[in-house]
């Protein structure tokens, strides 16, 4: 089993907090339960290396996913696995992505976070997301 941490919700500053045994409901859109975020491998640490403005934007988009809503800018990443999606954020510092899986009942799996430097995702970024996806769906 891969090393990961589970968190109950992201606050407005995209910092995760651990709140076991507390059920949150979504504060945007509708009152549905908020799915926990499961950070695969070093994805959480990768996100923390991004500029604060990017962390805030990605954190909010991830919170939308936790609430059962779609992010404002996303695309499917079927090359990484069935049901895998990519949240896309553009900032003056560059282009940033979160690859995630939201189809599992236990939570939102963040497979990989990275800064995009070319038109296509790099092979190592895609392979890492595929490997982490496979460890979930076995």
Q: Are 67 and 31 in contact (CB under 8 A)?
A: no
Whole-model pTM: value is 0.78
- CATH number of the domain that 35 lies in? 3.30.2310.20
Q: Quick one: pLDDT at residue 32?
A: 75
Domains in the chain, number: 1
Domain that holds residue 19: 4-137
Report the Cα 10 to chain-centroid distance in Å. Answer: 11
DSSP 30: S
- Give the lowest-confidence range in 5-9, 22-26, 45-49, 65-69: 5-9
Residue 35 has, within 13 A of its CA and on its CB side, a CA count of: 20
Q: What confidence score (pLDDT) does residue 25 get? A: 63
- Residue pLDDT, tens place only, 90-119: 999 999 999 999 999 999 999 999 999 887
pLDDT for residue 121: 74
Q: Which of 40, 54, 58 is nearest to 108 (CA)?
A: 40
pLDDT score at 15? 35
Rounded CA separation 131/123 (Å): 12
Cα–Cα distance between 64 and 28 in angstroms, integer?
Answer: 8
Tell me what the mean pLDDT of segment 75-102 comes to.
Answer: 95
Q: Give pLDDT tens digits for 120-129.
A: 778 999 999 9
**pLDDT score, position 4:** 36
Q: What is the pLDDT of residues 17-62, one digit of tens each?
A: 333 334 556 766 566 788 999 999 999 999 999 999 999 999 999 9
Element (H, E) at 96: strand 94-101
């Amino acid at each position: 089993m891969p090393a990961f941490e589970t968190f109950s919700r992201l606050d407005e500053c995209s910092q995760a907090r651990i709140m076991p045994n507390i059920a949150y409901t979504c504060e945007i859109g509708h009152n549905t339960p908020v799915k926990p975020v499961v950070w695969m491998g070093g994805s959480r640490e990768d996100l923390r290396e991004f500029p604060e403005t990017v962390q805030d934007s990605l954190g909010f988009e991830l919170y939308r996913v936790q609430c059962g809503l779609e992010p404002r800018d996303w695309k499917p990443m079927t090359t990484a696995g069935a049901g895998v999606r990519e949240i896309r954020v553009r900032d003056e510092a560059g282009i940033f992505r979160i690859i995630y899986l939201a189809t599992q009942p236990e939570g939102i799996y963040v497979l990989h976070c990275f800064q995009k430097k070319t038109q296509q995702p790099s092979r190592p970024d895609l392979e890492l997301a595929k490997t982490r996806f496979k460890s979930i769906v076995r």
